[in-house]
Amino acid sequence: MRYAFRVAYDGSRYFGFVKQPSRPTIEAELLKAFKRCGLYRELKKVRVRTASRTDRGVSAVGQVVALNVFEEPNLSLINACLPDDIAVLAVAEVESEFDPRRQAQNKHYRYVCEAPLNFDLSLAHRAAKLLNGIHNFKYLCKHEQGRSTLGNIKYASVRGREILVFDFIARAFLWQQVRRMVNVLLAVGKGKLNLDELKKMLEGEAKQAMRPAPAEGLILVGIRYPSLVLKPDARTVSKFIKYLRERAHPSYKAMERILLSTQ
């Protein structure tokens, strides 16, 4: 049997999602919990797949993981085996070939941070509109050998006053693309980059690449699929929100609001 799991986590103390030798990761904690619950014995046989390989420090409320298991997963039992900063919110049986990354229609990321002094929101909003569509994001990503830097952003926006909220939706994102797009919008809003310079950057012409914004403000909101819906369990959401309310960064409040909207 193959199941998909919707996972929420605070990424602040982990070295990203993907399992690494001798370093704490989200995937390592999940696999440890699944094994303790008797869902699998040998890792090489379970075909673990994930929707997004989030970087060190990045959090999520809508990560999706799929693997083959021996029996129907028990949500309460799994969460009892996980640390407080990780929660499996929902589980559903899927087809045997389901791949959460390849079959995703859209991925939604949100970034939250305090607004810089004298930030021009209207100008940043105009810059966000320029990001929409197909562009060469060569200077707004960390290049991966053999991978094209062309991308198609379906939705980009920025809003807020004291706290800024950036939203990005696309079928797929390049490495560090979201955090670099955040930084370019911040640069425009602070008057350090003008719209013409951004246009040239999106055409693959720039003096240097934009650096990524800090990871702590980034949240994987969710993944959309053609037919799969993973509605979060109310009791699990409530427990995870209790954990979030003990943290100070604005991203935790944003995660809470997203989770409340799913109920």
Q: Which residues are marked as active site?
A: 55
Token look-up 């934009």 returns 210
Structure tokens belonging to residue 59: 């959090």
Torsion angles phi and psi, residue 50, rounded to 5: -130, 150
Alpha-carbon distance of 59 to 214, in angstroms, equals 12
DSSP class per residue in 66-81: EEE-SS---HHHHHHT
DSSP helix, strand, coil percent of the chain (3-state; round to 5): 30, 25, 40
The radius of gyration of the chain from alpha carbons, rounded to an integer in Å, stands at 19
> Residues 105, 226: contact at Cβ < 8 Å?
yes
**Is residue 70 within 8 Å of 38, Cβ to Cβ?**
yes
**130, 202 in Cβ contact below 8 A?**
yes
Secondary structure string (H, E, C) spanning 143-186? CCCCCCCEEEEEEEEEEECCEEEEEEEECCCCCCHHHHHHHHHH
